[in-house]
Amino acid sequence: MPKFIFVTGGVVSALGKGIAAAAMGALLEAKGLRVTMQKLDPYINVDPGTLSPFEHGEVYVTDDGCETDLDLGHYERFTHVRTSVFNNFTTGKIYNNVITKERRGDYLGDTVQVVPHITDEIKNAIRAAATDEYDVAIVEIGGTVGDIESLPFLEAIRQFRYDVGRENVLYAHLTLVPYISAAGELKSKPTQHSVKELRAIGIQPDVLFCRADRALSADVKRKIALHCNLDLDAVIAAVDVDTVYEVPLCFKSEGLDRLLDRKLNLGHLPEPDISTWREVAKRIKEPKFEATIAIVGKYVGLKDAYKSLMEALIHGGIANNARVNFQWVDSEEIEAKGAENFLSEIDGILVPGGFGSRGIEGKIQAIRYAREKKIPYFGICLGMQTAVIEFGRTVCKLSANSTEFDAGIKDPVIYLMEKWYNHRTGKIEERSINSQMGGTMRLGAYPCVIKEGTHAHKAYGKIEISERHRHRYEFNNKYKEILCNNGLIVSGTSPDGELVEIVELQDHPWFVGCQFHPEFQSKPIEPHPLFKGFIEASIKEKRSLFP
């Protein structure tokens, strides 16, 4: 049985529980431990797949096709965890499971209640992810202590210590220590009240992460320790840093690894090897090159809608010893004012995924600008589809569009396949065009075969790959011949050749579109090959490397 670390948050939301949990995971892995991570979310949606990106940020997709909270992206980027359907549970999913069991008669006539039925289901969910193959399971509780919807999860983790033994559970709490400029000092009272709220539920934190915009003095730490009933070394400063990839280094300097050893009785473990994280931080803070990338999207008002994408671009910069600057461009603004007004000083252009017709023509204008001006271009999911539409219209003189945007278009170069072979399940899948959600999505990891001699092959360095998908519409093979005869290259397909996965141009320095989401598999210590290649092509000082 693994040891358990439960991470909660207080005072305000968005303090960085996911980063703190992931950084703990990185430190424990650096000590040679096997770690798994899980997010428990208090919202009632069964999963975030139906939530607007403006509401909740990006939807992160796992290999097995589960649509999850974006914090799972942090877990995978900081650790070697490969998340799945067992790593993210919501209130909606928990209640759905309990109600299904009640309707089936599993409770044998019992009155179904929050305690014990909901809390037992939550504990079952925790155990489903925390199998014996791991040494430590880190479980993050979404929301903030004091929120009514978080109470069942907090009660469940309170009980967990009694179920598995006090020596096997550690509670870590993240709070805010604000600086009041008028007083000229950091204030610990919000943290004290947050811990008081947690203790009223029956949970005494073992570790306290104190978020602040500056260093905590010894006096402030002593005050917090005294009023929150903690050892002094259990008050960990979580100060603002230049890059989130410095957080494992900061936690190490605060002695967190030794504290976890002692609190969880982990034994005589070696010092964590954090040299890789030092190198990552150095490359981000002391780059040799620079590239400005325009992200032409429709959700640019909330940057978390593109969280994994932003991180993957930074990883591409790490691989090239380059700083990546983001220029956020609303595709509807391009429709109104033209691409030249937004993209003339850009080193590379990226069009990310999305759904719906809003802002599509602006994306197409941006793609044409990148193609004609020979600016490195990277299209992801919808970004690949719109690249095919632009090429079909401008180069092949087709009346091209996707049936997602115009169901009656003459030349549907992108369309909804009614049937397709699912290589992951080995079955023929059907898409119901009239369903409420617009048809079945292709979700999760699927294999792809790459054509030799292409940009994609140069980037990956191999023929067979696996990437994660989240989309409904596909490249229409009816138009493959005319598109390829005019210069489009289909450089990646499904093993049977029926599903187009990657396209590129032969007369362009770097113009690649992929149907999948490569950002979901990129890590700072293992940058994704396509992002590495895109940033390399976008660095001005390296342009001479390309023919």
- What is the predicted pLDDT for the residue at 423? 63
pTM of the model: 0.93
The predicted-structure confidence for 394-419, as pLDDT tens digits, reads as follows: 999 999 999 999 999 999 999 987 76
- What is the predicted pLDDT for the residue at 541? 59
Work out the angle between the directed axes of helices 529-538 and 307-319 (0-180°, nearest 10): 70
* Contact criterion met (CB below 8 Å) for 136 and 264: yes
Percent of the chain's residues with pLDDT above 90: 84
- Contacts of residues 241-246 at CB distance under 8 Å and 24 or more positions apart, as own/partner, are 242/281, 242/284, 242/285, 243/281, 243/284, 243/285, 243/314, 244/16, 244/19, 244/23, 245/277, 245/280, 245/281, 245/284, 245/524, 246/277, 246/281
- What is the average per-residue pLDDT within 490-495? 96
Q: Select which of 121, 254, 467, 519 is catalytic.
A: 519
- What is the predicted pLDDT for the residue at 43? 92
* Contact criterion met (CB below 8 Å) for 122 and 156: yes
- Dihedrals phi, psi of 505, to nearest 5 degrees: -115, 145
- What is the predicted pLDDT for the residue at 436? 36
Q: Is 519 a catalytic residue?
A: yes
Range list of H helices, 502-544: 529-538
- What is the predicted pLDDT for the residue at 355? 83
Q: Select which of 56, 74, 173, 517 is catalytic.
A: 517
- What is the average per-residue pLDDT within 447-467? 96
Task: Go through the domains of the chain in sequence order and give each one's CATH number.
Answer: 3-279 (3.40.50.300), 288-415+474-489+502-545 (3.40.50.880)
Q: Select which of 66, 210, 381, 514 is catalytic.
A: 381
Strand order in the sheet with 35-41: 88-90, 35-41, 136-141, 3-9, 169-176, 207-212, 235-239
Lowest mean pLDDT among 238-242, 421-425, 450-454, 499-503: 421-425
**Looking at the predicted structure, is the pLDDT value of residue 434 above 50?**
no
- What is the average per-residue pLDDT within 57-76? 93
- Which amino acid appears at position 302 of this protein? L
The predicted-structure confidence for 246-257, as pLDDT tens digits, reads as follows: 999 999 999 999
